[in-house]
């Protein structure tokens, strides 16, 4: 799949963006983009678990 390694901040296709950000677990330290897979953002920072 061509979009597997796409960075969220560079995606313009709404369907692909939805797939990459579904159930986000990471955010980008640079731009704040959220993604499920850490390889989908430039500088991944995991979300803190809810206490």
pLDDT at residue 1 in the model: 44
Count CB atoms within 10 A of the CB of residue 36.
Answer: 14
**Residue-range domain boundaries for the chain:** 8-46
Task: Kindly report, residue by residue over 8-39, the tens digit of the pLDDT.
Answer: 988 899 999 998 888 899 999 999 999 999 99
Ranges of beta strands (E only) in the chain are 26-28, 34-35, 44-46
Comparing CA positions, the residue from 48, 49, 17 lying closest to residue 33 is 17
């Amino acid at each position: 799949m061509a979009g597997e390694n796409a960075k969220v901040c560079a995606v313009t296709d709404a369907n692909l963006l939805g797939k990459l950000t579904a159930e986000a677990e990471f955010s980008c330290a640079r731009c704040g983009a959220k993604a499920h897979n850490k390889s989908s953002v430039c500088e991944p920072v995991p979300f803190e678990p809810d206490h």
